[in-house]
Amino acid sequence: MGINIENFERIKKDLESSNATLVAVSKTKPVSDIQDLYNLGQRDFGENYVQELTEKQPLLPADIRWHFIGHLQTNKVKYIAPFVYLIHGVDSEKLLREIEKQGARLGRKIKVLLQVHIASEETKFGFDASEINQLLQPEVLSKFSHVELAGFMGMASFTVNQEQVEQEFALLKTLFDTYSHMDLPQNKISILSMGMSNDYMLALKQGSNMVRIGSLLFGARDKG
Ligand SMILES: *Cc1c(COP(=O)(O)O)cnc(C)c1O
């Protein structure tokens, strides 16, 4: 039980050369574990469930950057909008419109990543490349002045086939390269969130600059 300090130090070393950000995924884990990792210098934490996040957030230091990495329902955006640092899993224009609405209400610009469907599995949420292209047109972007589109997030297939995982990450990196070199009005595509406990080294090799790691830091989960 508790946090794995050895893994934490090793992961930080692995991330150094890519200058990648570690998001510690603390879903289902107690606030005491989050506080322990915070005390070792970690500031970026990721949660999957709105209710769990809104319960934990007031109990922990105010300078934590909270990442929402789960599937976000439109009617729940309002609960995390006041404090969330980055929403990773934006997978529909409807959700983007709701985030815009909440950002306008609060007078803040909410940073988001567009989730891109790269896995072969049907169950994973996300846009495909042509939908991303439609969304990143200047006339569409101009409707979202309270949203900052900061990059892309993707999840590879759940498979032991490393070659397939690498190919899926490479696909997302290609998309990222296209848009990060583009001059988009009011937005800068600069974050590529890919890689979890079991595939983060492959993700880094393919150009990830943000990894979301849970079980290596906090131990296995009973659920989620
Ligand atoms: C749970 C989760 C993670 C972390 O998974 P681990 O395998 O525990 O590292 C990363 N990203 C998303 C979207 C998740 O839901």
For the chain, the first-to-last Cα distance in angstroms comes to 17
Compute the average pLDDT of residues 35-56. Answer: 98
- C-alpha distances in angstroms, 76 versus 38, 70, 156? 27, 12, 26
Q: Which residues line ligand 1 (CB under 6 A)?
A: 25, 27, 48, 69-70, 155, 196-198, 212-215
**Ligand 1 atom 10: residue of nearest CA:** 212
Q: List, in order, residues 6 or more apart from 90 with CB less than 8 Å away.
A: 72, 96, 99, 112, 113, 114, 115
Alpha helix positions (H), the chain: 5-16, 31-39, 50-56, 77-80, 93-106, 129-135, 138-141, 162-180, 200-205, 215-218
Between the CA of 28 and the centroid of ligand 1 the distance, in Å, is 11
Structure confidence by residue, pLDDT tens digits, 74-127: 999 999 999 999 999 999 999 999 999 999 999 999 999 999 999 887 766 899
**Other Cβ atoms closer than 10 A to 36:** 16
Looking at residue 124, its pLDDT comes to: 62
- C-alpha distances in angstroms, 195 versus 166, 168, 209? 10, 11, 9
Q: How far is CA 182 from the centre of its chain?
A: 21
Q: Of ligand 1's atoms, which has the minimum distance to the CA of residue 23?
A: 10
Between the CA of 104 and the centroid of ligand 1 the distance, in Å, is 30
Looking at residue 186, its pLDDT comes to: 82
Looking at residue 123, its pLDDT comes to: 63
Q: Of ligand 1's atoms, which has the minimum distance to the CA of residue 224?
A: 1
d(CA 19, CA 61): 25
Q: Quote the tokens at residue 126.
A: 């996300």
Compute the average pLDDT of residues 40-51. Answer: 98
